[in-house]
């Protein structure tokens, strides 16, 4: 369980115990029930991370609601949107190994996360990840119930495929943008598991160049959308 669960669950348990000591019956039952739900919601199970070259894993648990062509900053690609129901695991994971180049918090509305306009208008964290194959983008999007998105990483951090990167509270949405050339393997309606379900296959086209890019990435170079370092 993630630490946020303790911050919420333990006070509820303490309140329930105090209610019992004061002779109350209904209030402790409610508080204990809320504590049990909190501990369940903030669970953080271990996952088996696929090791296939070019595998892009799901950044979140939930149901695929959209697979659609979409441009990102003028570049053609595809977006996969995942809706997280309140009973899904809400810990988010990196879809691929690489270096986070940017984390942008965007304030916004709180439409129901399953609605299409939530991708653009809801409160969200936009995370850009430079990988050996190029740049991908994923978004933690708050929903009607989930009104807080938490990212535990910042620009410059190196992440591994399937590594925990953040949390969205109580029902939400995760969007993943992949450039043209990535093979999407999921369809709307499928349920996926964060860190273990393979959403797409995006192999490195030039392994030699990717190896060189990887070594430069380790030294902290900035990467452009192509995955090549920006020359300054």
Give per-residue pLDDT as tens, 11-51.
666 776 777 777 777 887 777 777 776 666 678 889 999 98
120 pLDDT band, cuts 50/70/90, is low
Quote the pLDDT of residue 183. Answer: 94
Rounded to whole angstroms, how far apart are CA atoms 15 and 205? Answer: 58
Q: Is residue 102 part of a domain?
A: yes
Q: Are residues 83 and 166 in the same domain?
A: yes
Q: Is residue 50 part of a domain?
A: no
Q: Is residue 164 part of a domain?
A: yes
Residue 175 CB neighbour total at 10 angstroms: 22
> Angle, to 10 degrees, between the axis of helix 3-21 and the axis of helix 26-41?
170
Identify the domain containing residue 32 by its residue range: 3-41
pTM: 0.75
Q: In the β-sheet with 183-184, what is the strand arrangement from edge to edge?
A: 55-57, 198-201, 183-184
CATH number at residue 109: 2.70.70
Q: Are residues 37 and 59 in the same domain?
A: no
Enclosing H/E stretch for 176: strand 172-179
Quote the pLDDT of residue 114. Answer: 56
**Contact between residue 223 and residue 230 where contact means Cβ atoms under 8 Å apart:** yes
Q: Are residues 92 and 194 in the same domain?
A: yes
Q: Is residue 109 part of a domain?
A: yes
Rounded to whole angstroms, how far apart are CA atoms 228 and 216? Answer: 9
Q: Is the pLDDT of residue 70 over 80?
A: yes
What mean pLDDT do residues 65-69 have? 93
Average pLDDT in the chain:
79
| Total number of domains in the chain | 2
Higher pLDDT, 83 or 16: 83
Q: Are residues 128 and 92 in the same domain?
A: yes
Percent of the chain with pLDDT strictly greater than 90: 43
Q: Is residue 232 part of a domain?
A: no
Q: Is residue 227 part of a domain?
A: no
Q: Is the pLDDT of residue 1 over 80?
A: no
Q: Is the pLDDT of residue 143 over 90?
A: no
Catalytic center residues: 172
Q: Are residues 61 and 25 in the same domain?
A: no
Q: Are residues 20 and 106 in the same domain?
A: no
Q: Is the pLDDT of residue 214 over 50?
A: no
Q: Is residue 33 part of a domain?
A: yes
Q: Are residues 148 and 84 in the same domain?
A: yes
What mean pLDDT do residues 71-76 have? 91
Quote the pLDDT of residue 231. Answer: 35
Quote the pLDDT of residue 53. Answer: 87
Rounded to whole angstroms, how far apart are CA atoms 147 and 160? Answer: 27
Q: Are residues 158 and 211 in the same domain?
A: yes
Among 209, 201, 215, 231, smallest CA distance to 158 is for 215
Using only C-alpha atoms, the chain has a radius of gyration, in whole angstroms, of 19
Q: Are residues 37 and 147 in the same domain?
A: no
Q: Are residues 30 and 138 in the same domain?
A: no
Quote the pLDDT of residue 147. Answer: 52
Among 136, 140, 160, smallest CA distance to 149 is for 140
Q: Are residues 24 and 69 in the same domain?
A: no
Q: Are residues 85 and 135 in the same domain?
A: yes
The Cβ-side half-sphere exposure at 198, using a 13 Å CA radius, reads 15
**Contact between residue 118 and residue 141 where contact means Cβ atoms under 8 Å apart:** yes
Q: Is residue 48 part of a domain?
A: no
């Amino acid at each position: 369980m993630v630490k946020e669960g303790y911050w919420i669950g333990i006070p509820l348990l303490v309140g329930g115990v105090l209610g019992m000591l004061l002779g109350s019956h209904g209030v402790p039952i409610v508080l204990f029930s809320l504590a049990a739900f909190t501990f369940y919601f903030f669970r953080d199970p271990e996952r088996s991370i696929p090791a296939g070259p070019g595998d892009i894993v799901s950044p979140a648990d939930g149901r695929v609601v959209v697979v659609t062509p979409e441009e990102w900053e003028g570049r053609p690609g595809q977006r996969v949107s995942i809706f997280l129901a309140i009973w899904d695991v809400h810990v988010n994971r990196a879809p691929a190994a690489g270096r986070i180049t940017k984390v942008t918090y965007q304030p916004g509305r709180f439409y129901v996360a399953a609605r299409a306009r939530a991708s653009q208008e809801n409160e969200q964290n936009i995370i850009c990840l430079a990988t050996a194959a190029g740049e991908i983008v994923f978004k933690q999007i708050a929903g009607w119930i989930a009104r807080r998105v938490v990212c535990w990483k910042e620009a410059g951090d190196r992440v591994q495929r399937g590594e925990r990167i953040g949390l969205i509270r109580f029902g939400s949405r995760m969007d993943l943008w992949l450039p043209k050339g990535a093979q999407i393997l999921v369809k709307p309606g499928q349920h996926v598991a964060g860190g273990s379900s393979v959403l797409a296959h995006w192999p490195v086209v030039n392994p030699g160049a990717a190896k060189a890019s990887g070594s430069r990435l380790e030294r902290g170079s900035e990467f452009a959308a192509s995955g090549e370092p920006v020359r300054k």
